[in-house]
């Protein structure tokens, strides 16, 4: 089961070519043996399109679409990042500015503030989601009656539109009338109007962490649950025979065997939250001030409000490099853990 | 899965008290997690004044004002003007008049919802169609640089949407695709095709090659075997993948808000800007949200067996 995940992350040994007939389970007839003995190229010519032609015919359109919508724009972004182009002034002369945009991105205090906000958001969402998600998965794996139904209920938030979620949490966070403030006030005794989750610089970064955790804990839970269920019972049975305590079993069987799954969940959440835009844009729009201005929100402000297209292209490239670099290092660590 | 082979006398079966405790904690979490959603659905049936009352009202007289306001635009009139009008023709007409207003016409919610449907279904058909072909080729044929191509396909999904949106914005402006449904369908297809290829490759890998090989021995060409043997076998996988693509396109916001403004605008950028007199009309926003989320709730239940696969790009299977 988990070998599939490893296959995704590390090059897979070349699978058998289609033309090489596998041993057929039923008794080989003369025809199957003849087919197996016929060279692939010849067989292909006999039957119309060769396998190679079909392969390119089938993969080609997907590649063309990705080249047109992903690669060509990426190259365009790289080109723009070396200019002073502004998308709202298409007729102004475009000057090459060398690496000036990159220098200003990397020395801009606002960009570093945005990276700090992103780091805070990433760290706390991943920490809380892993903790709660794993605990939930562990509890669900006790297989109580009705666990299937309740698991489905728990999964609902992660299927919703992040933008719509951000918008309705803005309603729940209203200081006077919002349900969130009311419940916190009821539980803690502080007046409901004494704090503003999205209006205060101190609380807003936590407001987005809470919503993201509410939404994505089920994601981590689901992957952890798959990990827990992949541990064969006989390992625990052997541990029981050896009279290992429940605590010991948890630390030396459960945790190490689920760890690769947890790390995979962290990888996916990390990439997703590094790109986070929609939910936060509708919940706080990066405010108050720039307290919740994550990298994507800064990018949107630079590109589509200040129209500094060249500058924001350079920032976009820096973000690409950052996300690919971090994902690669992380995948190496993941493979290391898995092969231990 | 191993759960099937657990013996009745297994040593590791949790005890009944442990089970009950675990069950109550999970149910408690599930109930808490569903409160925000339930609250929005409740709010959609409130009057604007009930929606913003303090303390928040759990018990209230249900009203259709939220839904009426969602589907109509209204203008405020003097009581004399309203009194002089012929009797109200519909429920929403009456609701508006009770609030001292007159229905001026339909709102943009229905066109935005229809845009969402067209763009979601159009892009799903395109990305699953392309995806199933590419996935079959990657699953069955020797393709040079296969792993690199597959990783490239996946990596297109890692890019921050805003970063992709900058050149797409310029490109679409040049090509006249800004704010068109076609432009959005092509864009969402490109985003979803990576998911479709990865998921469908997993599903097709699970179909034994012997089926096609037997069919080809019987005289089918490769293409016929693909159409008549592989596609029917992969139906479940194709449907599951299609639902994932639909959900993504349905929920997408970043591209929609930057690249559409009118004719092709989808529901997610529209719902937050539903406003009434003096700020956001929360019951109408809640009503729009409820109607928008209902299809997703249905899909979640339909998909629950394949969810794990979908959210991890096929990396983890049950």
Written as one string, the DSSP assignment of B65-132 is HHHHHHHEEEEE--HHHHHHSPPP-SHHHHHHHHTTEEEEEE-SHHHHHHHHHHHHHHHHHHHHHHHH
How distant is the Cα of B284 from the closest Cα of chain A, in angstroms?
Answer: 12
Chain B residues within 8 A of A224 when measuring between CB atoms: none
Residue where a domain stops, chosen among B90, B107, B124: B107
Q: pLDDT per residue over B101-124, tens digit each?
A: 888 888 889 999 999 999 999 999
Indicate if B97 and B233 belong to the same structural domain: no
Chain A residues within 8 A of B149 when measuring between CB atoms: 59, 63
Q: Is residue B33 in some structural domain?
A: no
Q: Is residue B57 in some structural domain?
A: no
Any CB–CB contact under 8 A between B3 and chain A?
yes
Q: Is residue B222 in some structural domain?
A: yes
Instruction: Place B278 in a pLDDT band, splitting at 50, 70 and 90.
Output: low
Chain B residues within 8 A of A323 when measuring between CB atoms: 158-160
The ipTM is 0.86
Q: For residues B223 and A48, give the distance between their C-alpha atoms in angstroms, rounded to a whole number.
A: 9
CB contact under 8 A, A182 and B133: no
Instruction: Place A2 in a pLDDT band, splitting at 50, 70 and 90.
Output: very low
How distant is the Cα of B154 from the closest Cα of chain A, in angstroms?
Answer: 10
Q: Provide the b/e sequence for A184-222 (b: ≥16 CB within 10 Å).
A: ebeeeeeebeebbbbeeeebbbebbbbbbbbbbbbbbbb
Indicate if B186 and B159 belong to the same structural domain: yes
Indicate if B86 and B196 belong to the same structural domain: no
Q: For residues A133 and A130, give the distance between their C-alpha atoms in angstroms, rounded to a whole number.
A: 5
Any CB–CB contact under 8 A between A246 and chain B?
no
Contact between A191 and A106 under an 8 Å Cβ cutoff? The reply is: no
Compute how many other C-beta atoms are within 10 angstroms of the C-beta atom of residue A35.
17
**pTM score of the predicted model:** 0.84
Indicate if B81 and B206 belong to the same structural domain: no
Contact between B120 and B250 under an 8 Å Cβ cutoff? The reply is: yes
Residues in a beta bridge with B72: B106
**A 139-198 near B (Cβ less than 8 A):** 139-140, 142-147, 150-164, 167-169, 171-172, 174, 176-179, 182, 192
Answer positive or negative: Cα dihedral of B293, B298, B302, B305: positive
Size of interface A-B (CB pairs under 8 A): 346
Average pLDDT over residues A319-326: 86
Compute how many other C-beta atoms are within 10 angstroms of the C-beta atom of residue A106.
13
List all residues 6 or more positions away from B55 whose beta carbon is below 8 Å from its beta carbon: A182
Q: Is residue B26 in some structural domain?
A: no
Any CB–CB contact under 8 A between A46 and chain B?
no
Mapped onto helix, strand or coil, the DSSP state of residue B141 is coil
Any CB–CB contact under 8 A between A22 and chain B?
yes
Instruction: Place A47 in a pLDDT band, splitting at 50, 70 and 90.
Output: low
Strand ranges (E), B234-312:
275-276, 279-280
Residue A306 has pLDDT above 70, yes or no: yes
Mapped onto helix, strand or coil, the DSSP state of residue B279 is strand
Indicate if B214 and B160 belong to the same structural domain: yes
**Residue with the two structure tokens 């004719």:** B263
How distant is the Cα of A309 from the closest Cα of chain B, in angstroms?
Answer: 8
Any CB–CB contact under 8 A between B169 and chain A?
yes
Identify the pLDDT of residue A35: 55
Indicate if B133 and B212 belong to the same structural domain: yes
Identify the pLDDT of residue B101: 83
Residue where a domain stops, chosen among B51, B82, B107: B107
Residue B309 host element (H or E): helix B307-311
Residue where a domain stops, chosen among B107, B142, B176: B107
Average pLDDT over residues A151-178: 90
Residue A141 has pLDDT above 70, yes or no: yes
Chain A residues within 8 A of B313 when measuring between CB atoms: 8
- φ, ψ at A67 (rounded to 5°): -65, -45
Q: Is residue B262 in some structural domain?
A: yes
Average pLDDT over residues A265-279: 90
Residue A10 has pLDDT above 70, yes or no: no
- φ, ψ at A89 (rounded to 5°): -130, 70
Residue A9 has pLDDT above 60, yes or no: no
Task: Provide the residue range defining the domain that includes B75.
Answer: 64-107
Q: Is residue B289 in some structural domain?
A: no
Q: pLDDT per residue over B4-62, tens digit each?
A: 444 444 445 677 888 888 899 999 999 999 999 999 999 999 988 888 887 888 888 88
Residue A136 has pLDDT above 50, yes or no: yes
Q: Is residue B250 in some structural domain?
A: yes
Indicate if B195 and B151 belong to the same structural domain: yes
Residue A21 has pLDDT above 50, yes or no: no
Q: Is residue B95 in some structural domain?
A: yes
Chain B residues within 8 A of A76 when measuring between CB atoms: 167, 170-171
Any CB–CB contact under 8 A between B182 and chain A?
no
How distant is the Cα of B84 from the closest Cα of chain A, in angstroms?
Answer: 37
Q: For residues B18 and B34, give the distance between their C-alpha atoms in angstroms, rounded to a whole number.
A: 24
Q: pLDDT per residue over A187-208, tens digit each?
A: 988 887 888 888 889 999 999 9
List all residues 6 or more positions away from B9 whose beta carbon is below 8 Å from its beta carbon: none
Contact between A277 and A304 under an 8 Å Cβ cutoff? The reply is: no
Q: Which residue of B has its CA nearest to A13?
A: B147
Indicate if B101 and B171 belong to the same structural domain: no
Contact between B177 and B200 under an 8 Å Cβ cutoff? The reply is: no
Q: For residues B160 and A273, give the distance between their C-alpha atoms in angstroms, rounded to a whole number.
A: 10
Indicate if B96 and B235 belong to the same structural domain: no
* Domain of residue B141, CATH code: 1.10.3720.10
Q: Which residue of A has its CA nearest to B225?
A: A47
**B 273-302 near A (Cβ less than 8 A):** 280, 282, 285-286, 289, 292-293, 296-297, 299-301
Identify the pLDDT of residue A233: 86
- φ, ψ at B276 (rounded to 5°): -110, -160
Q: Domains along chain A?
A: 23-80 (no CATH), 102-339 (1.10.3720.10)
Indicate if B136 and B75 belong to the same structural domain: no
Into how many domains does chain B fold? 2
List all residues 6 or more positions away from A276 whose beta carbon is below 8 Å from its beta carbon: A118, A121, A212, A294, A296
Residue A28 has pLDDT above 70, yes or no: no
CB contact under 8 A, A143 and B250: no
Q: Which residue of B has its CA nearest to A56?
A: B137
Q: Would you give the DSSP letter of residue A194?
A: G
**B 85-104 near A (Cβ less than 8 A):** none
Residue A153 has pLDDT above 80, yes or no: yes
Identify the pLDDT of residue A286: 85
Indicate if B192 and B116 belong to the same structural domain: yes
Answer positive or negative: Cα dihedral of B40, B44, B48, B54: negative
List all residues 6 or more positions away from A91 whose beta carbon is below 8 Å from its beta carbon: none
Joined together, the tokens standing for residue B217 give: 């021995």
Indicate if B82 and B130 belong to the same structural domain: no
Compute how many other C-beta atoms are within 10 angstroms of the C-beta atom of residue B276.
17
**Residue with the two structure tokens 């950028």:** B269
Of A306, A328, A326, A327, give the one whose Cα is nearest residue A104.
A306
Mapped onto helix, strand or coil, the DSSP state of residue A206 is helix
Burial category of B189 from C-beta neighbours within 10 Å (exposed 0-12, middle 13-18, buried 19 and up) = buried
């Amino acid at each position: 089961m988990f070998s599939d995940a490893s296959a995704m992350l590390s090059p897979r040994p070349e699978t058998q070519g289609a033309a090489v007939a596998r041993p057929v389970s039923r008794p080989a007839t003369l025809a199957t043996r003849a087919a197996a003995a016929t060279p692939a190229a010849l067989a292909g010519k006999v039957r119309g399109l060769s396998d190679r032609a079909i392969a390119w015919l089938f993969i080609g359109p997907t590649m063309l679409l990705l080249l047109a919508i992903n690669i060509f724009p990426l190259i365009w972004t790289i080109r723009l990042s070396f200019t002073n182009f502004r998308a709202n002034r298409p007729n102004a002369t475009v000057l090459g500015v060398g690496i000036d945009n990159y220098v200003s991105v990397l020395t801009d205090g606002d960009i570093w503030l945005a990276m700090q906000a992103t780091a805070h958001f990433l760290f706390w969402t991943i920490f809380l989601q892993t903790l709660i998600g794993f605990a939930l998965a562990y509890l669900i794996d006790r297989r109580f009656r009705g666990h299937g139904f309740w698991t489905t209920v728990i999964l609902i938030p992660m299927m919703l539109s992040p933008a719509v979620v951000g918008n309705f949490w803005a309603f729940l966070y209203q200081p006077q009338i919002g349900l969130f403030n009311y419940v916190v006030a009821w539980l803690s005794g502080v007046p409901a109007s004494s704090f503003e989750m999205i209006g205060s610089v101190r609380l807003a970064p936590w407001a987005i962490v809470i919503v993201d955790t509410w939404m994505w804990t089920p994601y981590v839970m689901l992957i952890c649950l798959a990990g827990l269920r992949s541990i064969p019972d006989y390992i625990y049975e052997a541990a029981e025979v050896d009279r290992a305590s429940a605590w010991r079993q948890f630390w030396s069987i459960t945790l190490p065997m689920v760890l690769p799954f947890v790390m995979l969940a962290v990888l996916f959440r990390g990439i997703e939250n590094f790109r986070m835009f929609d939910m936060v844009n509708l919940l706080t729009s990066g405010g108050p001030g720039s307290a919740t201005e994550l990298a994507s929100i800064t990018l949107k402000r630079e590109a589509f409000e200040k129209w500094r297209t060249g500058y924001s292209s350079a920032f976009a490239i820096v973000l690409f490099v950052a996300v690919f670099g971090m994902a690669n290092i992380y995948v190496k660590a993941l493979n290391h853990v898995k092969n231990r | 899965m191993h759960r099937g082979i657990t013996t009745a006398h297994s040593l590791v079966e949790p005890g009944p008290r442990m089970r009950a405790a675990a069950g109550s904690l999970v149910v408690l979490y599930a109930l808490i997690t569903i409160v925000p959603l339930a609250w929005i659905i409740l709010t959609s049936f409130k009057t604007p004044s009930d929606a913003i009352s303090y303390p928040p009202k759990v018990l209230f007289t249900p009203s259709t004002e939220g839904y009426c306001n969602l589907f109509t635009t209204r203008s405020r009139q003097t009581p004399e003007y309203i009194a002089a009008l012929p009797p109200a023709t519909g429920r929403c007409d009456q609701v508006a008049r009770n609030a001292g207003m007159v229905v001026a016409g339909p709102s943009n919610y229905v066109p935005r919802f229809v845009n969402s449907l067209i763009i979601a279904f159009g892009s799903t058909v395109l990305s699953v169609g392309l995806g199933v072909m590419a996935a079959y080729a990657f699953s069955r044929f020797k393709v040079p640089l296969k792993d690199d191509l597959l990783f490239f396909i996946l990596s297109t999904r890692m890019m921050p949407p805003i970063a992709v949106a900058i050149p797409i914005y310029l490109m679409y402006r040049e090509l006249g695709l800004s704010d068109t449904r076609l432009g959005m369908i092509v864009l969402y297809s490109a985003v979803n095709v990576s998911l479709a290829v990865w998921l469908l490759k997993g599903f097709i890998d699970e179909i034994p090659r012997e089926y096609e090989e037997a069919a080809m021995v019987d005289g089918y060409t490769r293409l016929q075997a693909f159409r008549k043997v592989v596609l029917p076998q992969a139906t479940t996988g194709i449907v599951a993948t299609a639902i994932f693509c639909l959900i993504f396109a349905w929920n997408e916001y970043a591209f929609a808000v930057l690249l559409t403004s009118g004719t092709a605008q989808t529901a997610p950028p529209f719902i937050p800007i539903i406003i009434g007199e003096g700020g956001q009309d929360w019951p109408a926003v809640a009503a729009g949200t409820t109607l928008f989320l209902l299809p997703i709730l249905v899909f979640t239940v339909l998909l629950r067996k394949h969810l794990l696969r979908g959210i991890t790009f096929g990396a983890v299977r049950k």
